[in-house]
């Protein structure tokens, strides 16, 4: 059984395989009247698009998004929005060997065991190409957020890549757009570049860690107990290919702290409560506090490396495999816009869930 939908009221179903005719996202629950244009969605897809520099895969995927429904005269109508991206650069011959062999660290073997059939071309449904559909859907979510919560801003960036870490003392969000790693630390770019060049030339790969910060999130988002804001963010991030861990605020480090060290004290500001610190990552009891919402997630190194690895065939014979093809040395880089997109979807979803307590008029007036 498969479950390809996420969201409670803003529901996104992604579909498509890496080497089928197309992939996309079916979005149900977008509020009506939101300005949506293909060109605006394309901006986010281009951010994720591979082949933009030497640190991402050299596959050419133009990833042109088409809007097939749900938008009329430039605005959402409240009906399902269908976003389609045609697959174009499908060099299927690159993947010939994997028809019979399972690539270690990939989902080849588990899809086979679960379904008894798999589209082996490029990972099929388990390919990271699926994240293009997420980014397109995230573009719609951002457009709706812009209308509903204009002060809300989502920013993603890397904070670690293998042994390379950013220096928080030099943290500057303005630097993110100026380097290929989306890191907020200009002085680290050269080291990161040299490090990844080394791995790339060796045919190796490396993991990474992405941090997401949402500012301007209104207090009150989160549907306790099982749709807590942190719960839904954790699920959203963990559903991204290759993600192995998710944390909010202090995260795993909270295991280390005492109650005194972890407390965010409260005082009254001009426009509401203020907090002395943000160990909580902007979420208490699963509900947003109004502070920045901080999420981090770890992406494992891609398993596609040039070193031969032991594996088996469908018929159960021991063998070896080298994953050829054109791969990202650090998939964590391209995970940045994907994480941002997922966060946009989750925040919009909870913004919509949070309505409904008091009366309001319907939008369509007559007379």
Chain positions 247 to 286 lying near a second copy, rule: CB under 8 A, are 247-268, 272-273, 276, 279-281, 284-286
- Tell whether residue 241 is among the known ligand binding residues: yes
Q: How big is the CA angle at 137 (ends 133 and 138), to the nearest 5 degrees? A: 115
Chain residues 146-175 in contact with a second copy, contact rule CB under 8 A: 148, 160-163
Least distance from a second copy to the Cβ atom of residue 75, Å? 6
59 counts as binding a second copy under rule CB under 8 A: no
Chain residues 93-112 in contact with a second copy, contact rule CB under 8 A: 102, 104-107, 109-112
One of 246, 336, 341, 347 touching a second copy (CB under 8 A): 246
3-state secondary structure of 313: strand
Chain residues 62-91 in contact with a second copy, contact rule CB under 8 A: 66, 68-70, 72, 75-82, 84
CA distance 183 to 21: 35
Cβ contact 287:224 at 8 Å: yes
CA distance 300 to 209: 9
Only segment of 88-96, 170-178, 185-193, 293-301 that touches a second copy (CB under 8 A): 293-301
Least distance from a second copy to the Cβ atom of residue 52, Å? 22
293 counts as binding a second copy under rule CB under 8 A: no
Peptide bond into 225 cis (omega under 30): yes
38 counts as binding a second copy under rule CB under 8 A: no
Cβ contact 237:342 at 8 Å: yes
- Tell whether residue 303 is among the known ligand binding residues: yes
Place of tokens 């944390």: 247
- Tell whether residue 242 is among the known ligand binding residues: yes
17 counts as binding a second copy under rule CB under 8 A: yes
One of 138, 139, 156, 222 touching a second copy (CB under 8 A): 222
Least distance from a second copy to the Cβ atom of residue 134, Å? 9
334 counts as binding a second copy under rule CB under 8 A: no
Q: How is residue 99 written in tokens?
A: 């028809």
One of 53, 88, 92, 113 touching a second copy (CB under 8 A): 113
The number of CA neighbours under 13 Å toward the Cβ of 18 is: 20
Least distance from a second copy to the Cβ atom of residue 194, Å? 15
CA distance 185 to 164: 12
- Tell whether residue 126 is among the known ligand binding residues: yes
Q: How big is the CA angle at 179 (ends 173 and 182), to the nearest 5 degrees? A: 50
261 Ramachandran zone, left/alpha/beta (phi>0; psi -120 to 50): alpha
* Bridging pattern class, strands 266-269 and 208-215: unpaired
CA distance 177 to 162: 21
- Tell whether residue 285 is among the known ligand binding residues: yes
One of 180, 207, 216, 325 touching a second copy (CB under 8 A): 207
Q: How is residue 310 written in tokens?
A: 């032991």
* Binding site residue list for NADP(+): 48, 54
* Binding site residue list for FMN: 125-127, 241-242, 285, 300-304, 326
């Amino acid at each position: 059984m498969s479950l390809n939908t996420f969201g409670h009221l803003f529901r996104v179903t992604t579909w498509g395989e890496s080497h089928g005719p197309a992939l996309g996202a079916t979005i149900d629950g977008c509020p009506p009247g939101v300005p949506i244009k293909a060109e605006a969605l394309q901006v986010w897809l281009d951010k994720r698009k591979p082949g933009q520099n030497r640190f991402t895969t050299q596959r050419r995927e133009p990833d042109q998004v088409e809007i097939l429904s749900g938008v009329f005269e430039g605005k959402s109508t409240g009906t399902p929005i269908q976003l389609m991206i045609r697959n174009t650069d499908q060099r299927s011959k690159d993947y010939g060997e994997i028809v019979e062999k399972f690539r270690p660290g990939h989902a080849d073997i588990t899809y086979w065991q679960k379904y008894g059939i798999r589209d082996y071309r490029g990972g099929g449904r388990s390919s990271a190409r699926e994240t293009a559909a997420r980014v397109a859907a995230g573009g719609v979510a951002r457009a709706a957020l812009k209308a509903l919560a204009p002060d809300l801003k989502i920013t993603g960036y890397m904070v670690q890549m293998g042994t390379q870490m950013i220096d928080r003392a030099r943290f500057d969000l303005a630097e993110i757009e100026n380097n290929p790693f989306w890191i907020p630390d200009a002085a680290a770019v050269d080291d990161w570049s040299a490090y990844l060049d080394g791995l790339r030339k060796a045919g190796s790969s490396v993991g990474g860690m992405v941090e997401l910060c949402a500012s301007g999130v209104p207090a009150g988002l989160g549907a306790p107990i099982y749709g807590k804001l942190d719960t839904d963010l954790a699920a959203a991030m963990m559903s991204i290919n290759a993600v192995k861990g998710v944390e909010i605020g202090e995260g795993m480090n909270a295991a280390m702290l005492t109650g005194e060290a972890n407390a965010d004290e409260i005082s009254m500001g001009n426009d509401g409560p203020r907090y002395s610190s943000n160990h909580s990552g902007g979420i208490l009891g699963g509900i947003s506090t109004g502070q920045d919402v901080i999420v981090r997630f770890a992406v494992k190194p891609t398993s596609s490396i040039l070193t031969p690895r032991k594996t088996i065939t469908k018929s159960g014979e021991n063998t070896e495999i080298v994953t050829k093809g054109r791969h990202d040395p650090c998939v964590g880089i391209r995970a940045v816009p994907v994480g941002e997109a997922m966060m946009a979807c989750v925040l919009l979803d909870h913004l919509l869930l949070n309505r409904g307590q008091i009366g309001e008029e319907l939008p369509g007036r007559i007379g």
